[in-house]
Structure 1
Amino acid sequence: MTTDNIRHRGRFTAFDPITTRWADNDLYGHVNNVTYYAWFDTSVNRYLIEQGGLDIHQGQEIAYVVSSSCDYFSPVAYPERIEAGLRVEKLGNSSVTYNIGIFREGEEQACAVGRFVHVFVNRDTDRPVPIPAGVREALERLV
């Protein structure tokens, strides 16, 4: 698959609007790489909470990030409106691999594409558990 295909808006299903902040820019005048990871985490967890019913405060099943990466294609800077596009690359029994595309509002090619792996575990034992049914249903819509 070409880089353009991986970056194309049509590969992503759910979109989350994000407004960059003044504090996101670094000394080079663009959004610092660590901020992208915060966007990934926020976008994924918002989806799990709002669409999958994940109870991050009281639920027995929680999700740990076990792997993450990002490929950068073009810089983003304050002030820009962007969108995080979300898709599921792989859905397992207790784990899920996401792709998150960071798009300038209305653009077809992502400025960056992240990869983010969650493993669902029991809150008390830290042992892997099956993805909760409501969360799995929501994730299946992103495959």
Structure 2
Amino acid sequence: MSTREPAATRADFFHFHAIETRWMDNDAYGHVNNVTYYSYFDTAVNHYLIAQGALDIARADVIGLVVETQCRYFSPVAFPGTIEVGLRVGKIGTSSVRYELAIFRKSDDVAAAQGHFVHVYVDRASNRPVALPDVYRRALQPLHAAENSN
């Protein structure tokens, strides 16, 4: 009897970001290398934050530092292809956010991989944690799983 949690589905996520896989993403085994999934996660989150006006990567006084990551793999993805990264927020803390993500092949309803990472938001100059700015809270509220469960 397996105790492994099943793969997530598209219905579990509130936002999707499409990414074209690249030739360099594949490894010697002919599929996207495991470390590349973290790049996809990071791209989806930061693209969302920039689009929402929360993150100014060049001038922001507050930046997010990754302090925890995890990814589970269910089936491979490869170049060429389009993936869609599902995004939701599992927890919004005082100075941290837990982003939950999944990688879907463009036509699949079940995740090929899923995971999370935690950003601690810090003052850019001091690298000390700060309270999550309101602009982030407003941007993340629509993605917050607790707020969107019915």
CA distance in 2, matches of 1:24, 1:108: 22
Secondary structure class of the residue paired with 2:143: coil
Normalised TM-score (structure 1): 0.94
CA distance in 2, matches of 1:128, 1:52: 21
CA distance in 2, matches of 1:107, 1:56: 32
Does the alignment pair 1:77 with 2:78? Answer: yes
Match of 1:101 in 2: 102
Match of 2:11 in 1: 10
Does the alignment pair 1:126 with 2:127? Answer: yes
Query: C-alpha displacement at 1:54, in angstroms?
Result: 1.2
Match of 2:147 in 1: none
Secondary structure class of the residue paired with 2:46: helix
**C-alpha spacing 1:52/1:88, structure 2 compared with 1 (3 Å):** farther
Query: C-alpha displacement at 1:124, in angstroms?
Result: 1.2
CA contact (8 A) 1:52 1:136 kept: no
Does the alignment pair 1:48 with 2:49? Answer: yes
Q: Which amino acid aligns with 2:115?
A: G
CA contact (8 A) 1:52 1:137 kept: no
Q: Which amino acid aligns with 1:127?
A: R
Query: C-alpha displacement at 1:35, in angstroms?
Result: 0.7
CA distance in 1, matches of 2:112, 2:42: 17
CA distance in 2, matches of 1:52, 1:39: 20
Match of 1:110 in 2: 111
Give 4+ residue runs of structure 1 displaced > 6 Å after superposition: none
Normalised TM-score (structure 2): 0.90
Indicate the percent of aligned positions where both proteins have the same amino acid. 54
Q: Which amino acid aligns with 2:5?
A: T
Match of 1:62 in 2: 63
- Matched residues, number: 142
**Structure 1: any 5+ residue segments left out of the alignment?**
none
| Deviation by residue 1:94-115 (Cα, 9 ceiling, x = unmatched) | 1000111100113111000021
Query: C-alpha displacement at 1:22, in angstroms?
Result: 1.0
